[in-house]
Structure 1
Amino acid sequence: MPLPGQSAQIDFPELTADCSRCAALCCVAYPFEEDEDFAILKETDHPCPNLSPSCFNCTIHADLDTRGFGGCIAYSCAGAGQRVTEVLFQGETWRDDPDLLPHMTHALRVLRPIHEALLILQAAAALTLPDALRAELTRLSETLAVRDGTSIWDFEEPEVQAALAQVPEFVPRLAPYVVPRG
């Protein structure tokens, strides 16, 4: 039985990136601007030229920083990449079927902000909160988690997108309950 201000465990999806279970979607989905974070200009939905042509490995991964790809080091999909690859596309990849590329990258661009919001809500779940805030946290978390989602449309549903839009307004209300580190 949870104590007042706490609730039963919220069932969050996996929120840690595991590149070995993804189809290198981040290396394809996003554009690069040639600047301090990326040494090259790359268009949206085009594979990075440093991506191995035979697999989903980066050919310069060990040297990303010295080669001018700090943006790759800083990036995390928060588990959205493997969820897209394994759940929404059942392990099929854009290399197996190039027609999947725009669909997979669109799915990553939809799921990543949801997973980032869930990371914040997961941290908030450890706080001792008043019942009303705890209930709102649970509602937002459960709506965004889309536990039975098997299609990108499940994540584009109006209630999911509305919950995502509510997170930036919800988070500042948690400030009084955050205990400063020692």
Structure 2
Amino acid sequence: MPHEPLPLVQDRPDLKADCASCFGLCCVALPFARSSDFAVNKAAGTPCKNLQGDFRCGIHTRLRDSGFSGCTVFDCFGAGQKVSQVTFGGHSWREVPGSARQMFDVFPVMRRLHELLWYVTEALSLPAARPVHGELRRAQDDIEARTRLDAEQLAEIDVDALRGEVNVLLVRTGELVRAEVPGRKKNHRGADLIGARLKGADLRGANLRGAYLIAADLSGADLRRADVIGADFRDADLRGADLTDSIFLTQAQLNAAKGDATTKLPASLGRPGHWQG
């Protein structure tokens, strides 16, 4: 009996940020501190000085040059438009001032729910994970239903507990996919690989969950079928690396790294505009 078509992340526009349908929530709800990522300090609930009246960023095309590279790395996984258009029915915090605090409190919760949906949707697209597809579908339906709760109910969700339950399935998914890679696979789960020299390394099927790869040299490395969920790729050199079917790789991770035209990426993700070549 043939299986029904599996969902693909690239076929889920609701899991990708649509800033035109959002009320600039990431520019208001979230705090940031002056650093190499942000040019100024900003408290949570305070609009960024670059946010315009139409909820668009006034320096969007020159964020990195203006000292706001942190903004180019952030990804809400579509939570911004969900809160703006679904939870609050298209009424902005400027139109209904009394809703501002509630909207800003709900946004981080929705963002985490949408991130989980991203991972579950990817897991469901992986043939090797068929043994857990049934459980993944139930998890997907449960999370989807939660994203459509009202603001008060959303604020009460224990996302940490939910993530713990879903993570069991994601870990199993990673194990099933990595098992298809022959030979002994490297286990660098949670490892400190900051600045590591991994140029040309064979990391096929490696466990890199939560690994610190900040400024690591991964140029020319083979990361096919490596589990990279939660790995920190800030300033990592991915030039010429092969991430064709790395699992649980997100756009935010790529945006934080360095790469070029020779970096091989999954079909669901785009090449960051700041990459050279």
Q: TM-score range by the shorter chain?
A: 0.7 to 0.9
* Within-5 A mapping of 1:29-44: 29-44=29-44
Residue of structure 2 equivalent to 1:164: 163
TM-score after normalising by structure 2 = 0.58
**8 Å contact kept, 2:105–2:155:** no
The Cα shift of 1:12 comes to 6.7
The Cα shift of 1:153 comes to 3.9
Higher Cα Rg, which structure: 2
Residue of structure 1 equivalent to 2:97: 98
* Within-5 A mapping of 1:1-182: 2-3=2-3, 14-52=14-52, 54-129=53-128, 132-146=131-145, 149-156=148-155, 162-178=161-177, 180=225, 181=244
**1:128-154 C-alpha deviation (Å, 9 max, x unpaired):** 246551122112111111178241244
The Cα shift of 1:99 comes to 1.8
Which one has a larger percent helix, Structure 1 or Structure 2?
A: 1
The Cα shift of 1:156 comes to 4.8
2:35 partner letter? D
Distance 1:148 1:35, change over 3 A: closer
Cα separation, 2, equivalents of 1:77 and 1:150: 18
**8 Å contact kept, 1:84–1:107:** yes
Query: Which is worse superposed, 8-17 or 101-110?
Result: 8-17
Report SS of the residue matched to 1:56.
coil
Moved over 6 A (4+): 10-13
The Cα shift of 1:69 comes to 0.5
Cα separation, 2, equivalents of 1:113 and 1:94: 21
Cα separation, 1, equivalents of 2:60 and 2:13: 27
**1:87-113 C-alpha deviation (Å, 9 max, x unpaired):** 111110011122211111111111000
**8 Å contact kept, 1:13–1:147:** no
Structure 1 gaps, min length 5: none
2:45 partner letter? D
* RMSD across aligned positions (CA): 2.8
The Cα shift of 1:167 comes to 2.5
The aligned length equals: 179
Residue of structure 1 equivalent to 2:188: none
Report which structure shows greater RCO (CA 8 Å, sep ≥6). Answer: 1
Report SS of the residue matched to 1:167.
helix
Distance 1:104 1:81, change over 3 A: same
**8 Å contact kept, 1:81–1:108:** yes
Query: Which is worse superposed, 63-72 or 168-177?
Result: 168-177
Query: Which is worse superposed, 129-138 or 38-47?
Result: 129-138
Query: Which is worse superposed, 127-136 or 117-126?
Result: 127-136
The Cα shift of 1:175 comes to 1.9
**8 Å contact kept, 1:110–1:156:** yes
Cα separation, 1, equivalents of 2:37 and 2:164: 28
**8 Å contact kept, 1:146–1:155:** no
**8 Å contact kept, 1:51–1:57:** yes
Residue of structure 1 equivalent to 2:215: none
2:59 partner letter? I
**8 Å contact kept, 1:143–1:160:** no
2:40 partner letter? I
**8 Å contact kept, 2:32–2:38:** yes
